[in-house]
A and B are shown apart, each in its own frame.
Chain A
């Protein structure tokens, strides 16, 4: 008698034998949950993810503490309570730049330790792996938002705007993080080198951070930096958030721009990953 009878039998969805297209929902949920669990079970990752933006506010945010507010408002071209209030949306936007790096590193780790092979030897498409990793990275970045807001409150910032606008701001950050995660993962789809994500992160972070209006208003920039700022989704996310936080208004076209950026990145990235995401 076969030993199979001693074991419970499993059933499969109907498309398992009949359809050439195998559903990907279950695989996506599993891989996305894996990304989140791996992140939040690592206390060091969690601590650094939370502390780093807090330190931005503490050190950078207070670098103009001795400057009279009127002079600061003249320099920044906006009425504010403090530079920390001005900076908060910018720091959160720039922190989304780097979340993609973690998704790339997680992918490279899976390749080098063979786990990517384990995944690809199941009915899981490369695009599903890619999307789960990208969304996992973006989700990780969102953890910083409540921490930063709490930190800003500690530094005496009082916020404007209604909850709907705040939700839209968080959405803009999520879209930005997702877009950059997609971009990172697409660029490193065929890489197995641990150093690649860090090198790319260093390469893109500084120009996109400073040429964005996230830390200082772009009206003070030279012409060539303004050209970059005009195409920089980090800047639009920062400006959208700043309008919500400081003025209590929303520039919806900025949110639309960030959404278009995310859509373009996910489209290109899915195409690239489907073709070039390697097992090892």
Chain B
């Protein structure tokens, strides 16, 4: 019998998913209190989407247990699905249907009878009333995204899962979505779990963040807490082969030297103090690029994993995201 974790919007213990030899989610512990915005931050392929699939019942758990909205994901998947909303990375709507027809279909799938007044209010809230009878294939990306969030809200869910909600969007639409996500959380009082590999997005939206890498949570906390754990600055340095690790280690103020491909990553007490020393110890002609990273979620990730968060971004094959990009490109 599971313990009662109904006070938490999401609770998971030892959450694990194994695909063949790959452990996509590796013994994760989660506790997401109701009412907040919880972010899963990590590079592509870190296991963020798989965690959403596990928590929503889209895929089976290899091990562990989880509850969403007070219901056991494994034993009560239908009850869970009645209480969750979902916003996909790629906008998923029925393009042959109008906005109101998409809402009608969602109401049918969620077994709602008196859905129409709420649907009309949501269309008003998202400024889509004038286009409610138009096919959604004629909508802009921002309008499609708004409608997708309206679908997710139609049945009054307790938790909304947003999987990379702003991926591939232009900066203006991304900002608009950030405001909407904040609004959904505050005005509707709904817990939001979102995944992102955008540092600034997680920083701006989330009360709590779990940094995930290779299927494991490497740190959890409020953005300010996580940033406070990183002392000093990081300096990224591209050099010629004349520069050696020993040379860099000899510079006062550099506490750690790592390599990331052809780039040196130096942990320093203070970039202002170390940079002048660096340029006296190393011939400036051997330096091709210098970049200073101030304490941020980026440096937290760098500190914890030894890599930048977007290092692996291009490696993940996801044809749906590809199609979504192509669709947007055609609009």
Contact = CB atoms under 8 A, between A and B. Distances in A.
Interface of A: 2-4, 6-13, 16-17, 20, 22-23, 26-27, 29-31, 33-34, 37-38, 41-42, 112-115, 117-125, 279-280
A7 B121 contact: yes
A185 B268 CA distance: 61
Given A16-B79, A37-B96, A124-B81, 5 more contacts: A31-B108, A37-B97, A117-B58, A118-B86, A118-B88
Contact of B111 (A23, A31, A38): A23
Given A4-B156, A8-B117, A10-B155, A16 B111 contact: yes
B189 A4 contact: yes
Interface of B: 56-59, 76, 78-79, 81-82, 84, 86, 88, 90, 92, 94, 96-97, 101, 104-115, 117-118, 121-122, 125, 151, 154-156, 183, 186-189, 319-320, 323
Given A7-B118, A11-B114, A16-B82, A121 B105 contact: no
A122 B110 contact: yes
Contacts of A119: 109
B92 A2 contact: no
B33 to A, nearest CB: 17
B189 A123 contact: no
Contacts of B105: 30, 34
A8 B97 CA distance: 24
Contacts of A37: 96-97, 101
Contact of B108 (A20, A30, A38, A112): A30
B320 A280 contact: yes
A279 to B, nearest CB: 5
Nearest to B90: A114
Given A10-B156, A12-B112, A121 B323 contact: no
A125 B56 CA distance: 14
B234 to A, nearest CB: 38
A2 to B, nearest CB: 5
5 contacts: A2-B187, A7-B122, A30-B107, A113-B320, A114-B88
Contacts of A280: 320
A265 to B, nearest CB: 25
A116 to B, nearest CB: 9
A10 B186 contact: no
A11 B113 contact: yes
Nearest to B116: A8
B81 A117 contact: no
Nearest to B111: A26
Contact of A123 (B59, B111, B113): B111
Contacts of B112: 10-12
Contacts of A4: 156, 187-189
A87 to B, nearest CB: 35
B176 to A, nearest CB: 18
Nearest to A10: B112
Contacts of B319: 112
Contacts of A279: 58-59
A33 B104 CA distance: 11
Contacts of B90: 114
Contacts of B189: 2-4
A273 to B, nearest CB: 16
A121 B86 contact: yes
Given A8-B114, A113-B92, A121 B82 contact: no
A137 B320 CA distance: 26
B187 A112 contact: no
A34 to B, nearest CB: 6
Contacts of B156: 4, 9-10
B88 A123 contact: no
A20 B114 contact: no
A41 B109 contact: no
A9 B118 contact: yes
B133 to A, nearest CB: 14
A30 B96 contact: no
A170 B112 CA distance: 35
Given A7-B118, A16-B82, A120 B58 contact: yes
Contacts of A114: 88, 90, 92, 320
